[in-house]
Structure 1
Amino acid sequence: MQAAGEKRLLQLNELDEFRLQAYENAKIYKEKTKRWHDKKIVERHFEPGQYVLLFNSHLKLFPGKLKSRWFGPFRITEVFPHGAVKLENENSRNRFKVNAQRIKHYWGGIVDRQPTSITLNDVN
């Protein structure tokens, strides 16, 4: 009985060591994954007067695979320290506040929002 009790105690200690090792491995994996993810994030700084495009996440209501979800350009009128940005529509002078994660820099050019159609000819 004494030997069986000691053997069982050793097994429990070994099981506890496995559990602690698994915990440490999971912690190391999470740290490496976080470092890799953070390294891939591109830091964007916005200033008043810049032009940006706004991401429209509500476009799911209008089906169309090739329809762009980026609208704009909008002009930045104010940048808040907590990550919000106040935008102004050039045409109607409407101002609204959005999260800075929903915008990206606009580098120029004309945005044509008119629908176009392309006819494909069958070549045999």
Structure 2
Amino acid sequence: MRVVTPYKLVYGKACHLPIELEHKAYWALKHTNFDIQTAGNHRKVQLNELNELRDQAYENSLIYKEKTKKIHDAKIKNRVFNVGDRVLLFNSRLKIFSGKLKSRWSGPFTIAQVFPYGTVELSQNSGPNFKVNGHRIKHYFGGDIPTEVVPDLQTFPMDQ
């Protein structure tokens, strides 16, 4: 398999480095002094090479996507949830607010219903039931969830 640079993929020719610019005049003369028939044949060869480069890029992107999907799927944990299980919900909105030391898991919630394809309906003590993706929850095994790991520094009285 040939290594294709991004420059060659976009422009269809090799990149000329500054060292090669000294010989640019000779290079230009060599390429412009083709006769019509030779220039036409050269252009056809270039177009065919460009199509081959596009095909290679397409195949390389498919290989990359397959490898990425395999790595992603290997990291997904297959969890089985049943009605009545206690779970914690991952709070993805916490990234927006400043709170690096706050727990990203909220809950615990109780599973009210399990739908096919990973959707789960959660119930809470105060408020209506809501549906979430099963990848956003994990099993809760008891104990209190700290809302903050370190107490808020603003609650301490200021030294005088």
Cα deviation, residue 111, structure 1: 3.1
Q: Who is 1:105 aligned against? A: 139
The RMSD of aligned alpha carbons is 2.8
Query: What are structure 1's unaligned runs of at least 5 residues?
Result: 120-124
Cα deviation, residue 61, structure 1: 6.9
**Normalization by structure 2: what TM-score?**
0.60
Distance 1:61 1:109, change over 3 A: same
What percent of counterpart residues are identical?
Answer: 54
Task: Say which one has the larger Rg.
Answer: 2
Secondary structure of 1:71's counterpart equals strand
Distance 1:113 1:6, change over 3 A: closer
**Normalization by structure 1: what TM-score?**
0.74
Distance 1:11 1:52, change over 3 A: same
Aligned residues: 117
Q: Who is 1:14 aligned against? A: 49
Cα deviation, residue 56, structure 1: 2.6
User: Higher helix proportion, which one?
Assistant: 2
Cα deviation, residue 48, structure 1: 0.8
More deviation in 103-112 or 18-27? 103-112
Cα deviation, residue 66, structure 1: 1.0
Distance 1:4 1:44, change over 3 A: same
Residue 65 of structure 2, aligned match among 8, 27, 30: 30
Task: Tell me how far apart the structure 2 counterparts of residues 48 and 61 of structure 1 sit (CA, whole Å).
Answer: 32
